[in-house]
Chains A and B, each alone.
Chain A
Amino acid sequence: MNSELPAIVESLIFTAEAALSTERICELLNEFGRDEIRSVLTEMAASYQERGGGFELVEVAGGWQFRTRPAFHSYITRHIKTRTSKFSQSALETLAIIAYRQPITRAEVEHLRGVDCGGVLKSLLEKHLVRILGKKDIPGRPLIYGTTKEFLEIFSLKDLKSLPTLKEIKALDEQPQYERQEELQLEPEKPVPVENDLPFE
């Protein structure tokens, strides 16, 4: 393995404007093996986490990006203006339904929530958290909705699969409220160390 590879990968992610996908990194560094690059990425993410610094390397929306630790947000916002506002309960419910049940029509969302969702849906569309996937092949051809890449980016999710499953959420409900808080600690998943077949120099 080229001993400079980790440094090269790091420099690419450092200068990228948005999260850089593994796919793209492999494309840019076609002289290196894909497996090599993959293991470098997971090792690097782990080492950033161990380091315990102000930022870490995380995988969001299928790409790699340096992001600050949530714990320090109160210091960061002293000099960076935050423009993202908290989401309302109805926005979160609607987002959750769309995230778990996509592709889904507006009527289906409204049936689940028991209330008109036109306004919420519109504002989610405007914020690019939700997009129109197409039309459903049933009478009336209603629009179907799904979540966007921005949704994953904003909520720091690697992909849709990294959302807790509905079964897990159901289980949370059976526990008292105070324990639930602990369950929801938002540490990114610890990357699984990848076995490296190549002899290490």
Chain B
Amino acid sequence: MTAEAHGYHEEHLPLLDGFHEQYSVHLDKFDGPLDLLLHLIKKNELDICDISIAVITRQYLDFIKLMKELNLEVAGDFLVMAATLLQIKSRQLLPLDDQEEQETEEPDPRGELVRRLLEYQLYKEAGMVIGVRALLGREVFARTAVEPLLAAAQNVEGPLEVSLFELVDAFRGLLQRIPEESFHDVAPGDSLSIADCINEILSLLQERDTIRFDDLVRDEYSRERIIVTFLALLELCRLKLIRIYQGSEHGSIWFVPAVAADSSEV
């Protein structure tokens, strides 16, 4: 979209003169009709409280036309504003009759628009003031007492909770890693139950706070072990006893006890 817009610059230089520096990047994403109006007012060095509706309306409509020519989707909001501008313009041209004059308290048809523009300008300014503040995790960093392991699993924006799909993916990865020659005897007596596995995981979590999916099945790489572990994890998740995190996309999946995480938030 932007590349297309740049190509067009050559032919529409006079019109795009002002937009060139500020808006060439998001020509397709003007922050709303009020933003565009403010820009036009600034460009023409007009006083917000005394805008020349004729000039602004023409330029505003030119801009919308240009957006259409560039095949940009013109949002309905822009059209509403165009209609408002035209309405103001027509009201300025036609003298009011006595009855209408009594009805309208506002002598200047631009009044409402000016108020909205001033208000919008104020919040736009406020947004800029907030925007130049140093951001935590970008310009400012806080000391974190979190264990380095856990820190790896959590990012600044908060833990990225894992979707079921990613969990299944990790599980499949593990199954693929089972050495092919590993046989196992079916001995009904010592088959692993999900309940045992849940207890095992919970006691591990008490000691360590975080576990990686791979660590859970490290010492025993059998299909049965992995499947039971996986089911146990799903069960623990359902019971809301653990939370699952992933540090990065395709990264290791971590398990954190939900209770401990909650108490640390106090």
Asked if B137 and A65 sit within 8 Å, CB to CB, the answer is no
Taking A73-B134, A96-B123 as contacts, is the C-beta distance between A115 and B34 under 8 angstroms? Answer: yes
**Bound form: Cα–Cα A30–B146 in Å:** 26
Q: Which of B75, B123, B146 has the most CB of A within 10 A?
A: B123
B58 within 8 Å of A (CB atoms): no
| A99 touches which of B121, B130, B134 (Cβ 8 Å) | B130
| A83 touches which of B129, B132, B139, B157 (Cβ 8 Å) | B157
**Bound form: Cα–Cα A95–B131 in Å:** 10
For chain B, the count of residues having a C-beta within 8 Å of the partner chain is 44
Asked if A114 and B133 sit within 8 Å, CB to CB, the answer is no
Taking A96-B123, A114-B116, A116-B75 as contacts, is the C-beta distance between A83 and B155 under 8 angstroms? Answer: yes
Of A1-9, A14-22, A39-47, A192-200, the one with at least 4 CB within 8 A of chain B: A14-22
B94 within 8 Å of A (CB atoms): no
How near does chain B come to A196, taking the closest CB pair, in angstroms?
A: 28
* Nearest B-chain residue to A114, judged by Cβ: B34
Asked if A113 and B123 sit within 8 Å, CB to CB, the answer is yes
| A18 touches which of B81, B123, B127, B265 (Cβ 8 Å) | B265
How near does chain B come to A87, taking the closest CB pair, in angstroms?
A: 6
A48 within 8 Å of B (CB atoms): no
Fill in one digit per residue for A128-149: 1 if any B CB lies within 8 Å of its CB, else 0: 1000000000000000000000
Fill in one digit per residue for A178-194: 1 if any B CB lies within 8 Å of its CB, else 0: 00000010100000000
Asked if B140 and A93 sit within 8 Å, CB to CB, the answer is no
Interface hits, B139-193 → A, CB 8 Å:
139-146, 155-158
B238 within 8 Å of A (CB atoms): no
Residues of A within 8 A of B157 (CB): 83-84, 127
Residues of B within 8 A of A166 (CB): 122, 126
B124 within 8 Å of A (CB atoms): yes
* Nearest A-chain residue to B133, judged by Cβ: A155
| 29 intermolecular pairs with C-beta atoms under 8 Å apart | A14-B145, A15-B145, A16-B145, A17-B145, A67-B136, A68-B142, A73-B138, A73-B141, A80-B141, A82-B137, A82-B156, A83-B155, A84-B156, A85-B138, A89-B127, A90-B29, A90-B32, A93-B31, A112-B123, A113-B123, A114-B77, A115-B77, A150-B158, A154-B136, A155-B136, A170-B122, A170-B125, A184-B129, A184-B132
The 4 A-B residue pairs with the shortest CB-CB distance, nearest first, are: A115-B32, A92-B127, A70-B134, A84-B137
User: Given known contacts A82-B137, A172-B125, what 13 new A-B pairs fall within 8 Å (CB)?
Assistant: A65-B143, A67-B141, A67-B143, A86-B135, A92-B130, A96-B123, A112-B116, A113-B32, A150-B158, A153-B136, A154-B136, A157-B133, A166-B122
